[in-house]
Chain A
Amino acid sequence: EAAVTQSPRSKVAVTGGKVTLSCHQTNNHDYMYWYRQDTGHGLRLIHYSYVADSTEKGDIPDGYKASRPSQENFSLILELASLSQTAVYFCASSDRANTGQLYFGEGSKLTVL
């Protein structure tokens, strides 16, 4: 069974603070993604990566950075957290060479105060 784990599962941050969300996959997948979910907006793509040491912008990258130090790990970094970044964040991986199916982590609930 494919496995994507996220940490932390829940975090409260202060406005202007730095937040790092981490994602680890044991699927041996090339592609990894970060999505945010907000009520009324569904899931929106922030950043993605298809190879270690390289990241790509998604649909809503402003205010976020991403890091892919290895095939297994993909981080999302909020350098200056803002109230509008309160959301649930999901990491996912996919094996695009084969099925293209997405496997999601359990989500990280971020509250910025």
Chain B
Amino acid sequence: GQQVQQSPASLVLQEGENAELQCNFSTSLNSMQWFYQRPGGSLVSLFYNPSGTKHSGRLTSTTVIKERRSSLHISSSQTTDSGTYLCALEPGYNKLTFGKGTVLLVSP
């Protein structure tokens, strides 16, 4: 079965609202990463977060290993946050397994 499941599959927000994206995994993990994929296709690394909580501007990533989940919180969303958010699990050494992503649309 799929090792990494992301939810929701898609999300529509009004600008200024907060978002909580989830990533659940069924295997042990070496690391967890979050990426943002722009509408044009390029991928940007957001967080490398194997455990605990990390912050970057309006973004917060929290990984709880024993609960096999990681979340990405976006506060005060902006239209430029629109795109696809991907989590990636490293169950073993060297190989990342990606979720299918959450498509976020922030409307003005």
Interface residues of A (CB under 8 A from B): 31, 33, 35, 40-45, 48, 50, 56, 58-59, 88, 90, 92, 96, 99-104, 106-107, 109
Say whether, besides A43-B86, A101-B33, A101-B48, A106 and B42 are in contact (CB < 8 Å): yes
B95→A100 contact, CB < 8 A: no
What are 15 of the A-B contact pairs (CB < 8 Å)?
A33-B96, A40-B100, A41-B100, A43-B86, A44-B98, A45-B95, A88-B41, A96-B94, A101-B48, A103-B45, A104-B35, A104-B42, A104-B45, A106-B42, A109-B41
Which residues on the A side are within 8 Å of B41 (C-beta)?
A: 88, 106-107, 109
Nearest CB to that of B100 among chain A residues?
A42
Query: How far apart sit A31 and B96, CA to CA, in the bound complex (Å)?
Result: 12
> For chain B, what secondary structure do more than half of its interface residues adopt (helix, strand, loop), or is it mixed?
strand
Nearest CB to that of A58 among chain B residues?
B95
> For chain A, what secondary structure do more than half of its interface residues adopt (helix, strand, loop), or is it mixed?
strand
B52 to chain A, nearest CB (A): 15
Nearest CB to that of A2 among chain B residues?
B45
B102 to chain A, nearest CB (A): 11
Which residues on the A side are within 8 Å of B98 (C-beta)?
A: 35, 42-44
B99→A42 contact, CB < 8 A: yes
Interface residues of B (CB under 8 A from A): 31, 33, 35, 41-45, 48, 86, 88, 90, 94-101
Which residues on the B side are within 8 Å of A31 (C-beta)?
A: 94
* Apart from the given pairs A42-B100, A43-B98, A100-B33, 18 other A-B contacts in the complex at a CB distance below 8 Å: A33-B96, A35-B98, A41-B100, A42-B98, A43-B86, A48-B95, A90-B43, A100-B31, A100-B48, A101-B33, A101-B45, A101-B48, A102-B35, A102-B88, A102-B96, A104-B35, A104-B43, A106-B42
Query: How far apart sit A99 and B54, CA to CA, in the bound complex (Å)?
Result: 14
